[in-house]
């Protein structure tokens, strides 16, 4: 889940963890990226992470992180976002009513310091740029550059999850209540896209993250020149995710959730109850339309991350 939601809502919606793409998705993105690093970039990434390991006192939610090292570090930014005050850096609230591409300034304040214990201002697009500056500055301490690398690995994954680029007066799908297959307790739309669809595929097909990453890499290999070698453009990636949220994430729901202009004072419980009254059920009909899009977004994220790191190193 991307942002703070009252505990009662989290309990009601059965959110078991709070990761954009979940453990599996972020690891898949890192695995795809790692396969496309140049020898120089691969050596530099491994050395930076190996020489500056994650603080062992940080409690990691993902306990089954696969190798290589990039995948093991892919969810560190979620484990530390409360301590680092970087929760708002994981998303950008572009309304579904907005039309792009256009300036994102209205939904993305400049990066700043924490004030009064609140999250640091900023959003995912300028957070990627901010951390890239640190990563590319070889005069900075290696520990700072390693932290920046972890952020870049994570944020490039996050920005390709469409609900990290959109808001429909529901905190990016967090304040919704839907039925997911035959589960008794309702699930929010954000959690369904973060991890439930991916986890269900891995379980149904009895495959690991590494196997699915390899499969997606083979499936989308012809797009490397378009996605991996192209100039990095986080603003364009955010608008791309917003368009997918409109057309697929919300667009394929039956019945549809009305498109609304976000209200900062909106009550999450009221929005959840409003969506619950629609009795939306997520099953094969929806998942079969969503899964190819999820696959493509994971591959795009992996290729684009590799392109960024190759250019950096």
Give the DSSP per-residue string, 177-207. Answer: -BEETT-SS-B-HHHIIIIIHHHHHHHHHT-
Question: How do the domains of the chain map onto residue ranges?
Answer: 7-312
pLDDT at 14 over 80: no
pLDDT at 2 over 80: no
Question: How many C-beta atoms lie closer than 10 Å to residue 140's C-beta?
Answer: 14
Q: Which CATH superfamily is domain 7-312 in?
A: P1 Nuclease (1.10.575.10)
Q: In angstroms, rounded to a whole number, what is the distance separating the alpha carbons of residues 262 and 98?
A: 10
Residue 265: pLDDT band with limits 50, 70, 90: confident
Q: What are the tens digits of pLDDT across the range 160-186?
A: 999 999 999 999 999 999 999 999 999
Q: Answer for the pair 75, 61: CB distance below 8 angstroms, yes or no.
A: yes
Q: Answer for the pair 309, 33: CB distance below 8 angstroms, yes or no.
A: yes
Q: In angstroms, rounded to a whole number, what is the distance separating the alpha carbons of residues 176 and 168?
A: 10
pLDDT at 8 over 80: no
pLDDT of residue 143: 97
Q: What is the mean pLDDT of the chain?
A: 92
Find all residues with CB under 8 Å of 60, minimum gap 6, and list them: 54, 75, 76, 79
Q: In angstroms, rounded to a whole number, what is the distance separating the alpha carbons of residues 238 and 242?
A: 6
Q: Answer for the pair 64, 41: CB distance below 8 angstroms, yes or no.
A: no
In the numeric block, the tokens 């369904």 are attached to 192
Torsion of CA 60, 29, 92, 292, to 10 degrees: -130
pLDDT at 12 over 70: no
pTM value > 0.85: yes
Closest CA to 12 of 23, 1, 20, 21: 1
Torsion of CA 199, 201, 206, 207, to 10 degrees: -80
Q: Which two tokens stand for residue 272?
A: 């959840």
Torsion of CA 226, 228, 230, 234, to 10 degrees: 110
Q: In angstroms, rounded to a whole number, what is the distance separating the alpha carbons of residues 205 and 201?
A: 6
**Rounded alpha-carbon distances, angstroms, from residue 132 to 72, 94, 144, 193, 201:** 20, 23, 11, 27, 33
In the numeric block, the tokens 């954009």 are attached to 20
* Rounded mean pLDDT, 140-152: 98
């Amino acid at each position: 889940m991307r942002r703070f939601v009252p505990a009662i809502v989290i309990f009601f919606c059965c959110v078991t963890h709070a990761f954009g793409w979940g453990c599996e998705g972020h690891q898949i993105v890192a695995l795809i990226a790692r396969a496309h690093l140049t020898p120089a970039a691969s050596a530099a990434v491994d050395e930076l992470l190996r020489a500056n390991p994650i603080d062992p006192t940080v409690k990691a939610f993902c306990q089954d992180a696969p190798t290589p090292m990039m995948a093991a570090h892919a969810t560190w930014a979620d484990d530390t976002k409360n301590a680092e005050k970087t929760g708002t850096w994981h998303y950008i609230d572009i309304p579904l009513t907005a039309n792009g591409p256009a300036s994102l300034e209205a939904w993305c304040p400049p990066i700043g310091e924490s004030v009064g214990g609140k999250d640091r201002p900023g959003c995912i697009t300028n957070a990627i740029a901010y951390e890239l500056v640190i990563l590319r500055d070889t005069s900075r301490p290696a520990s700072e550059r390693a932290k920046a690398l972890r952020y870049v690995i994570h944020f490039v994954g996050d920005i390709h999850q469409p609900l990290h680029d959109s808001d429909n007066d529901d905190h990016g799908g967090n304040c919704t209540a839907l039925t997911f297959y035959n589960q008794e307790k309702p699930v929010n739309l954000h959690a369904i896209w973060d991890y439930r669809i991916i986890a269900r595929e891995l379980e149904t097909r009895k495959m690991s993250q590494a196997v699915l990453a390899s499969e997606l890499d083979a499936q989308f290999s012809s797009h490397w020149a378009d996605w991996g070698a192209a100039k990095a453009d986080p603003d364009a990636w955010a608008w791309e995710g917003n368009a997918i949220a409109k057309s697929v994430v919300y667009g394929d729901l039956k019945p549809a959730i009305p498109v609304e202009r976000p209200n900062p004072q909106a009550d999450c419980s009221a929005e959840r109850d409003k969506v619950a009254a629609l009795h939306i059920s997520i099953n094969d009909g929806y998942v079969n339309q969503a899964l190819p899009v999820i696959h493509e977004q994971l591959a795009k994220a992996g290729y684009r991350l590799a392109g960024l790191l190759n250019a950096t190193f």
